[in-house]
């Protein structure tokens, strides 16, 4: 038994309500859950990629902004560090304050850059020249400044680097700026100078800030110098960074401040320096937005499951209730209780089944009434049968009396020397005996049936003399005794040939009976052909005869014998077996009986 057959067999063992629930589970619930789960995963994946792509785009935007700023500030630092007036001030020993102030005021390069470029908040030049003091962009170094990391790094390297440097505003709040730091080379001077250019934090905020994302910026391993959330300034990056990697980047999810966020971190190599600026772009609400969408999708899936489930539940209760009611009424009928409910809800197949049940109950009641009437009639028939038994006992002597009488007449004919009359009486007696013995019987042998035909033809030859001849052709090796046939089947066919086929024949009339076996298809048939060489029939007459054989017309007296034979063949052997008539005017007529041998054999050939 296949798996499908076992499944169907197990399915049919449970009640209809469970079958409906199983159908709902297999057809509705499982597909919705599978498709819904796939859609949820696909939506989560698609939305995550969508938010990641937007996050990357914003990160690239910030990188481009920082790259442009660092490149421009680098150009400013290059102009200032190579300016001759600035170098002259840094290397000169001033005798008084007025000369120093006058020299600084006369140099307009520093003032020009500070005013022209919005990204620069301030420019500072730190120097250890003792004749200089804090004035405008020039700052006298002290031990606190000389002890800073950025100042010591500037003293050690000649190139530009970037540093997050803290400072206090007027309210003594700590601020952090991204600063370019560069040592100014003073030729033939014992003094040292360091250029520091501060990037304006407000300028960064104006260009970097986004309404959707948070940005965190830091340089090298230093503290954060810019953050959309200003409380993070001066602290470390919220994400782990591999500082040894030259181009470290990370895209994914991270838990920041107790919230799941989408993050994208990339590395920017500051223009013409070895410093690396780390740019972190955070989406604090994307993850939550995705889950809100997934919750809505999940609610839709649950609704898609619940609504059909509720409908199936109510329909199942309604349907099984009607089925149970129908089953209850059928059970009543099976217990011979024919008092059904007057009406059945609905107008579907169950209602039609209940209607059929009502019809069946009506038929049963009618049959019971008929059976009761039949019992009464049966009693009447028993009484009549008892009366007829006496009559039958008296009539049993009639056939014997008839045979004895014919035999007495035959003997008197022989005594009188009339052998022809004696022969005729003998043939008539044998023919009548065959007919009487086979009335009511189902079968006789083909040999006995053909012998009866030959006795009939002998009587006809006594009547017509040489006008009629009879021939029998039996296939060689065919044993007629091994085949059973309906009695009194062939004699009417031969009689029909004598009466109608040879009616107008003055002499030379011949009837030929042919018996043979053939297999026109896979089935073996016994063929019995009765041919006469009479006048034959026209096509119109033949068609009418064939119709009369199939459909009995009570107004006609002809073809009754062939009609009866045709009906007996169809009733006994099946609808496909019947009398076949073939005729051609001026040539003769053939009547053919074709019977399957498997329904005739009574032994082996």
* 5: pLDDT strictly greater than 70: no
Q: Report pLDDT for 605.
A: 37
Q: Report pLDDT for 359.
A: 81
Q: Report pLDDT for 56.
A: 92
Q: Report pLDDT for 397.
A: 41
Distance CA 450, CA 472 (A): 9
Distance CA 179, CA 166 (A): 10
* 505: pLDDT strictly greater than 70: no
Q: Report pLDDT for 604.
A: 39
Give the DSSP H/E element, type plus range, for residue 474.
strand 468-474
Q: What is the pLDDT of residues 87-131, one digit of tens each?
A: 888 888 888 888 888 888 887 777 777 677 888 888 999 999 898
Tokens for 265, please give them: 């971190």
* 85: pLDDT strictly greater than 60: yes
**CATH number for region 466-599:** 3.30.565.10
Q: What is the pLDDT of residues 172-220, one digit of tens each?
A: 677 889 999 999 988 888 899 999 999 998 898 889 887 788 899 999 9
Q: Report pLDDT for 354.
A: 77
Distance CA 309, CA 316 (A): 10
User: β-strand 138-140 against 120-127: which pairing, if any?
Assistant: parallel
Q: Report pLDDT for 501.
A: 66
Over range 155-172, report the average pLDDT.
84
Distance CA 127, CA 142 (A): 9
Q: What is the pLDDT of residues 472-488, one digit of tens each?
A: 999 888 888 888 888 88
Closest Cα to residue 331, out of 341, 318, 316? 341
Distance CA 449, CA 438 (A): 10
Which pLDDT band holds residue 8 (cuts at 50, 70, 90)?
low
Which pLDDT band holds residue 504 (cuts at 50, 70, 90)?
low
Q: What is the pLDDT of residues 230-268, one digit of tens each?
A: 888 888 888 888 888 888 999 998 888 888 899 999 999
Per the model's pLDDT, the better-predicted residue between 396 and 237 turns out to be: 237
* 400: pLDDT strictly greater than 60: no
The structure's pTM equals 0.54
122-136, 408-422, 572-586, 590-604: which has the minimum mean pLDDT? 408-422
Contact 67, 271 (CB under 8 A): yes
Q: For the chain, what is the mean pLDDT?
A: 82
Q: What is the pLDDT of residues 508-535, one digit of tens each?
A: 788 999 999 988 777 888 899 999 888 8
Contact 130, 228 (CB under 8 A): no
Q: Which residue has the tokens 């500030």?
A: 73
| CATH architecture, domain 51-287 | 2-Layer Sandwich (3.30)
Cα 314–chain centre separation: 26
Which pLDDT band holds residue 67 (cuts at 50, 70, 90)?
very high
Over range 545-554, report the average pLDDT.
77
Which pLDDT band holds residue 395 (cuts at 50, 70, 90)?
very low
Q: What is the pLDDT of residues 315-372, one digit of tens each?
A: 888 778 877 887 787 877 788 777 778 777 777 777 778 778 778 878 887 887 888 7
Per-residue 3-state assignment (H helix, E strand, C coil) for 134-202: CECCEEECCHHHHCCHHHHHHHHCCCCEEEEEEEECCCCCEEEEEEEEEEECCCCCCCCEEEEEEECHH
* Beta pairing partners, 583: 589
Q: Report pLDDT for 309.
A: 85
Q: What is the pLDDT of residues 431-483, one digit of tens each?
A: 677 776 666 667 888 888 888 888 888 888 777 777 788 889 998 888 888 88
Which pLDDT band holds residue 506 (cuts at 50, 70, 90)?
low
Domain range list for the chain: 51-287, 338-389, 466-599
Q: Report pLDDT for 117.
A: 83
Q: Report pLDDT for 219.
A: 92
Q: Report pLDDT for 181.
A: 94
Rounded to 5°, angle at Cα 87 from 85 and 92: 95
Which pLDDT band holds residue 69 (cuts at 50, 70, 90)?
very high
Q: What is the pLDDT of residues 264-293, one digit of tens each?
A: 999 999 988 889 999 999 988 888 888 899
Contact 509, 470 (CB under 8 A): no
Tokens for 527, please give them: 């063929």
Q: Report pLDDT for 422.
A: 67
35-39, 165-169, 216-220, 416-420: which has the minimum mean pLDDT? 416-420
Eight-class DSSP state of 29: I
Distance CA 160, CA 82 (A): 13
Q: Report pLDDT for 557.
A: 53
| Class of residue 121 by CB neighbours under 10 A (exposed 0-12, middle 13-18, buried 19+) | buried
Give the DSSP H/E element, type plus range, for residue 373.
helix 349-395
Q: What percent of the chain has pLDDT over 70?
A: 84
């Amino acid at each position: 038994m296949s798996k499908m057959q076992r499944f169907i067999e197990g399915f049919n063992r449970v009640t209809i309500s469970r079958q409906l629930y199983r159908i709902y589970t297999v057809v509705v619930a499982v597909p919705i859950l599978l498709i819904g789960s796939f859609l949820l995963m696909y939506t989560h994946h698609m939305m995550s990629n969508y938010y990641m792509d937007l996050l990357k785009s914003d990160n690239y935007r910030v990188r481009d902004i920082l790259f442009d700023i660092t490149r421009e500030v680098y150009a400013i630092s290059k102009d200032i560090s190579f300016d001759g007036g600035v170098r002259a001030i840094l290397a000169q020993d001033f005798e008084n304050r007025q000369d120093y102030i006058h020299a600084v005021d006369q140099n307009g390069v520093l003032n020009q850059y500070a005013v022209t470029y919005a990204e620069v908040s301030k420019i500072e030049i730190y120097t250890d020249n003792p004749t200089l003091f804090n004035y405008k962009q020039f700052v006298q170094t002290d031990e606190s400044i000389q002890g800073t990391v950025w100042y010591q790094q500037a003293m050690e390297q000649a190139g530009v680097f970037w540093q997050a440097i803290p400072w206090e505003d007027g309210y003594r709040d700590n601020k952090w700026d991204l600063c370019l730091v560069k040592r100014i080379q003073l030729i033939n001077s014992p003094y040292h100078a360091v250029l520091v250019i501060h990037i304006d934090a407000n300028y960064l905020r104006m260009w970097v800030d986004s309404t959707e994302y948070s940005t965190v910026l830091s340089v090298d391993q230093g503290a954060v110098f810019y953050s959309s959330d200003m409380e993070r300034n001066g602290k470390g990056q919220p994400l782990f960074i591999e500082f040894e990697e030259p181009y470290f980047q990370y895209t994914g999810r991270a838990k920041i401040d107790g919230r799941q966020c989408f993050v994208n971190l990339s590395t920017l190599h500051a223009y013409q320096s070895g410093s690396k600026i780390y740019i972190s772009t955070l989406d604090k609400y994307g993850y939550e937005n995705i889950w809100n969408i997934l919750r809505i999708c999940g609610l839709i899936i649950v609704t898609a499951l619940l609504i059909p489930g509720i409908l199936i539940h109510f329909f199942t209760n309604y349907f099984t209730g009607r089925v149970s009611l129908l089953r209850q009424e059928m059970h009543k009928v099976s217990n011979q209780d024919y008092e059904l409910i007057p009406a059945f809800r609905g107008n579907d197949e169950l209602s039609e089944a209940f209607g059929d049940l009502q019809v069946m109950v009506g038929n049963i009641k009618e049959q019971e009434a008929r059976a009761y009437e039949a019992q009464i009639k049966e009693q009447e028939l028993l009484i009549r049968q008892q009366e007829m038994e006496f009559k039958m006992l008296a009539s049993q002597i009639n056939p014997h009396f008839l045979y004895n009488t014919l035999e007495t007449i035959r003997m008197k004919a022989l005594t009188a020397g009339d052998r022809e009359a004696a022969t005729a009486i003998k043939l008539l007696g044998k023919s009548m005996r065959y007919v009487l013995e086979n009335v009511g019987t189902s079968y006789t042998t083909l040999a006995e049936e053909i012998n009866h035909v030959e006795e009939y033809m002998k009587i006809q030859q006594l009547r017509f003399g040489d006008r009629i001849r009879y021939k029998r052709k039996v296939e060689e090796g065919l044993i007629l005794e091994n085949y059973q046939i309906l009695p009194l089947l062939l004699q009417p066919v031969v009689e029909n040939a004598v009466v109608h086929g040879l009616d107008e024949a003055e002499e030379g009339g011949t009837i030929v009976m042919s018996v043979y076996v053939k297999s026109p298809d896979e089935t073996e048939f016994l063929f019995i052909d009765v041919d006469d060489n009479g006048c034959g029939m026209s096509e119109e007459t033949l068609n009418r005869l064939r119709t009369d054989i199939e459909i009995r017309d009570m107004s006609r007296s002809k073809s009754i014998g062939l009609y009866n034979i045709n009906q007996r063949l169809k009733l006994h052997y099946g609808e496909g077996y019947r009398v076949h008539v073939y005729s051609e005017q001026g040539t003769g007529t053939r009547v053919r009986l074709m019977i399957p041998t498997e329904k005739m054999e009574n032994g082996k050939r």
